[in-house]
Amino acid sequence: MKFFIKIFFLFSIIILQFACSKNNSKLKLSNSEAFAFDVGDGWEVNGTVVATGFQQKKNKNIYKSKLYCFVNLITSSNDTLKKIFSDTLENKQKNKFIDIPVEVQIELDRTFETGSYKLLFNIRDEYSKQKKIAEAKFNLTKE
């Protein structure tokens, strides 16, 4: 009888482990970049990062994802401007997502000095609650 209890217990652990590891995706951010254009009275800053490994929900053969993004700006004087951009990206499609590009566009006026800056992309997968941060450096230069 003890043998069957041990086998049942071992079998239960294996099933539990398999069930818990079914969604072992991990949010990853890659290919972050940013650049600025002088537009006369200021700069237009564009930034991108690619999100992968986020959780997806499937309902009636439609895959859904939901990512929340906010961006902080680190200035040339090392000040942090919080949440200069925020957006929720809700996507649906028939095929499973491979990745989602997150694109940011902001405008900076001439009160910002020339120099080296950073965008900090803060991405949260709304389904798995995983969070990641990626940074992209860029320069403000007068032309």
Structure tokens at 108: 């900076």
Residue 79 vs residue 3, higher pLDDT:
79
In a domain, 82, yes or no: yes
In a domain, 20, yes or no: no
CATH number, residue 45: 2.60.40.10
In a domain, 40, yes or no: yes
Res. 4: pLDDT tops 80: no
In the prediction, which pLDDT does 7 show?
52
- Please name the residues in contact with 110: beta carbons below 8 A apart, sequence gap of 6 or more: 41, 42
Residue matched to tokens 């969070």: 131
The string of pLDDT tens digits covering residues 47-106 is: 999 999 999 999 999 999 999 999 999 999 999 999 999 999 999 999 999 999 999 999
Instruction: Report the 10 Å Cβ neighbour count for 54.
Output: 25
In a domain, 103, yes or no: yes
In the prediction, which pLDDT does 81 show?
96
Cα(120)–Cα(44) distance, integer angstroms = 16
Domain count, the chain: 1
In the prediction, which pLDDT does 24 show?
60
Side-chain-side CA neighbours of residue 60 (13 Å)? 1
